[in-house]
Structure 1
Amino acid sequence: MDFNLQTYQAEQVLHLSAKGERRLMVQQNSDYRWLEIDGVVQSVMPLIEPTRLCLPHQHVIAWLLPAQAEQILELGLGGGDLTRYLQQRWPLAQHQCVELDEEVLTLYRHYFQPPAQQNTAAITLHHADALIFLEQSDQHYDLILLDLFSQDGNPPQLFQERLYQALAPRLIGPLLINLLPRTVLELNQALQLIEQWIGPATPYPVPGFINVIVHVMPRDTASLDL
């Protein structure tokens, strides 16, 4: 059974909170548990197989992953779908996750973090702004995943040069971005900034969805295979 974004139905509401215009919900049925932010499904976890990816854009990301990664940075946690998947795929990798919303971090720990990953030293969670974290870091990563969400889709910083200036010195391997461009002009603006500050960028539209997964290689490693 697949999680269908058009027909899914909840049997239980595990968490509901509303602050201003923002609403967070954790729901589940007999097969899946999922996180909704402002009515948008952000993460889906199969209850029997928590490391399996369910959302269409995540399958594109998995297809674009490199053969190996040892130092991983994930900017934007949500319900931790990719966190669980990557820990299962590369259990010895050092994996850091940065999430701005403290409540999302709490919900991940309580509802979406498998017991086997709760005490591992390989995963470090940071309550921080992604841009500030990058600008204050001196670490290098052979894989960075960028998946930031706001009420309008992507936050404005994904279409501004400061973010890509901060990413460039941290990368020694591929960067994968889940982009939600509202217009072609917005997509082209992001691609131009990425190529200006980091290196060649290839967009992979997700059929039937607004998501565009952008694969980026830093210039000094752009000749390497995936």
Structure 2
Amino acid sequence: MDFNLQTYQAEQLLHLGVSPSRRICVQQNSDHRWLEIDGVVQSAMVRAAPQRLCLPHQQAIADLLPTKAERILELGLGGGDIGRHLLARWPEAQLDSVDLDAEVISLYRDFFMTTGSAERQCLHQADALAFLLEQGADYDLVLVDLFSQDGNPPLLFTPHFYQALASRLRGELIINLLPRTGRELDQVLLLVERWIGQTALRGVPGCINQIVHARKA
């Protein structure tokens, strides 16, 4: 049951947070619950099947997932769509989810976290780079889905981010990228090739998302 970004209609407002810098809300109808920031849907959950992915870029990511991963890191939480899917897909997996935004983490706990997932998912309010530098664990799979109000944050275009990723990664890296220019895309591909390994790029039909996939050399 895909979430149609053009025709979705809310029946209930569950949360509304308004500040001078942004508007964040959680809404739902009979089929879906979703997180929206400044009018843009960040994630959507099928209420009857929370593990299902229903946004186009998430389905593209799912096609690139490895056969198995036991230790997973996601940088950027949102409504936790990918995390719910992975915990259901791999019942033995452990997941670390990192987000700098305390409100986003709170909304995830209140509206999107499934029963029992707390036993296998650790939530961290932290800067992505700081977490990588301070964390001692190694990961089979790292998912990067970091955004600011202007698009991908500057961190994604810096060498030290990928150096830190390389030190924690023992398997595969997937990045959801919304490049504003061809130069941004080329910079990420160059850095991933340099620090992680051979890189593949997948577009998402109808979306500007570019999914970057690499395996640690």
What's the TM-score bracket when you normalise by the shorter of the two chains?
A: over 0.9
Query: 1:46 and 1:161 mapped to 2: Cα distance?
Result: 37
- Whether 2:195 is the aligned partner of 1:194: answer no
Query: 2:125 and 2:201 mapped to 1: Cα distance?
Result: 29
Stretches of structure 1 lacking an aligned partner (at least 5 in a row): 220-226
The correspondence of residues 47-58 of structure 1 with structure 2, limited to 5 A, is 47-58=47-58
On the 8 A contact 2:2/2:55 being kept in 1, the answer is: no
Question: How many Å apart are 1:35 and its aligned residue?
Answer: 0.1
Match of 1:126 in 2: 124
Query: 1:18 and 1:162 mapped to 2: Cα distance?
Result: 34
Q: TM-score, normalised by structure 1?
A: 0.93
**Superposed CA offset, 1:22-69 (max 9, x none):** 111100011100001121111101111111000000001111000010
Aligned with 1:85: secondary structure?
helix
Aligned with 1:41: secondary structure?
strand
Match of 2:108 in 1: 108
Size of the aligned set, in residue pairs, is 217
Match of 1:30 in 2: 30
Match of 1:13 in 2: 13
On the 8 A contact 2:199/2:214 being kept in 1, the answer is: yes
Question: How many Å apart are 1:141 and its aligned residue?
Answer: 0.5
Match of 2:84 in 1: 84
The correspondence of residues 151-170 of structure 1 with structure 2, limited to 5 A, is 151-170=149-168
Q: TM-score, normalised by structure 2?
A: 0.97
On the 8 A contact 2:201/2:212 being kept in 1, the answer is: yes
Query: 2:75 and 2:24 mapped to 1: Cα distance?
Result: 19
**Bigger mean CA deviation after superposition, 13-22 or 58-67:** 13-22
Stretches of structure 2 lacking an aligned partner (at least 5 in a row): none
Query: What RMSD in Å do the two structures reach over aligned CA positions?
Result: 1.0
Query: 2:172 and 2:5 mapped to 1: Cα distance?
Result: 29
Question: How many Å apart are 1:148 and its aligned residue?
Answer: 0.6
Query: 1:41 and 1:170 mapped to 2: Cα distance?
Result: 30
**Superposed CA offset, 1:151-210 (max 9, x none):** 011111111112111101111100000011011111001111111121111110111111
Question: How many Å apart are 1:129 and its aligned residue?
Answer: 0.6
Match of 2:214 in 1: 216
Match of 1:176 in 2: 174
Question: How many Å apart are 1:2 and its aligned residue?
Answer: 2.9
Percent identity between the two aligned chains = 61
Query: 2:83 and 2:62 mapped to 1: Cα distance?
Result: 12
